[in-house]
Amino acid sequence: MTAAPLIDQPLPQEDIPMTETRTMHRPPATTYPGVRASAASLPALVGIEIGKSLSTRSGRSLAAAAVVLPSVAMGLAALSGDPFPSATGPIGAVGTFAALLLMALGVLSTAGEWTHRTVQTTFLLVPQRGRVLTAKAVALVLTGGVLAAVATAASAGVLALTFSGDPSWEGALFAMGTVAGSGAAFAVVGAGVGAALGNAPAALTGLYLTVLGVIPVAGVFQPEVVSWGDLSNSVLLLAQGQEETKAAVVIAGWVLVSTVAGALVTRRRQVA
């Protein structure tokens, strides 16, 4: 006798009730030590951005200059011997100087990443560009505000110790608060312009040329119109309690326009 072909033999049936259905189960996800299961929180990203801004030589130099140079400028003004009736004027003037330096810190925080190509790593770790820009903005508000506050406190001390005469200190605390706020605002403006242009030298040149060159010159011919865009003069006016509403609107407008422009361009720009 010959064995029956294997193809004619019935296949063994599993002893499974007909009413039971089979389901495919996905194997549990493999976890690896040291790898976060979720994205970093916003406070963690803010801390990272603060560290990044102050970890480079240029960032540390700008931070130090923003703190030290206003006091030096205040001391030089004292040597002139010119009396000041109120402390708010010199506090606002040297505060504007500090805020302009912090503007460069903001530019480097965004445009510097595109210039040095570190943006590839940043967006690879955190693909949500909006979260990155929000973290940078919050980090610059904190960094700029603290540095400007330290700078204005130090310059006010120099003013009290070195200036001859007896300037009035009425409104000095408000002026110092204005300087701290302007430091935060200028840093965010720099970040917005830097994000929009994506090139640190171009952003720094264009921003300072506009704020310190084009606007003051244009103000000679159309002072009423240009005053609505004069960022640095708005800080000085606000610190002295003059045209407070208008000055606040000008500063807020710069912050809003630059931030929106930077966010829109960053969302569309290709990371090569």
What pLDDT score does 272 carry? 65
Torsion (CA) 162, 76, 167, 216 in degrees, nearest 10: -160
Q: Is residue 227 part of a domain?
A: yes
**What count of residues does the chain have?**
272
What is the model's pTM?
A: 0.82
Using an 8 Å Cβ cutoff, are 175 and 87 in contact? yes
How many domains in the chain?
A: 1
Q: Is residue 140 part of a domain?
A: yes
Using an 8 Å Cβ cutoff, are 241 and 88 in contact? yes
Torsion (CA) 126, 128, 131, 135 in degrees, nearest 10: 30
Q: Is residue 107 part of a domain?
A: yes
Q: Is residue 9 part of a domain?
A: no
Using an 8 Å Cβ cutoff, are 131 and 266 in contact? no
pLDDT tens sequence for the chain (272 residues): 444 444 445 545 444 444 444 444 454 544 434 444 456 788 999 999 999 989 889 999 999 999 999 999 988 887 877 777 888 999 999 999 999 999 999 999 999 988 888 888 888 888 888 899 999 999 999 999 999 999 999 999 998 888 766 778 899 999 999 999 999 999 999 999 999 999 999 999 999 999 999 999 999 999 999 999 999 999 999 999 999 999 999 999 999 999 999 999 998 888 76
Query: What contacts 150, CB < 8 A, 6 or more positions away?
Result: 67
What pLDDT score does 39 carry? 64
Q: Is residue 115 part of a domain?
A: yes
Q: Is residue 32 part of a domain?
A: no
Q: Is residue 109 part of a domain?
A: yes
What pLDDT score does 256 carry? 97
Supply 256's token pair: 């809003």
Tell me how far apart the alpha carbons of residues 271 and 13 are, in angstroms, rounded to a whole number. 57
User: Residue 95 sits in which domain range?
Assistant: 41-268
Tell me how far apart the alpha carbons of residues 240 and 243 are, in angstroms, rounded to a whole number. 9
Three-state DSSP class for 247?
Answer: helix
Q: Is residue 124 part of a domain?
A: yes
Q: How far from chain centre, in Å, is Cα 187?
A: 5
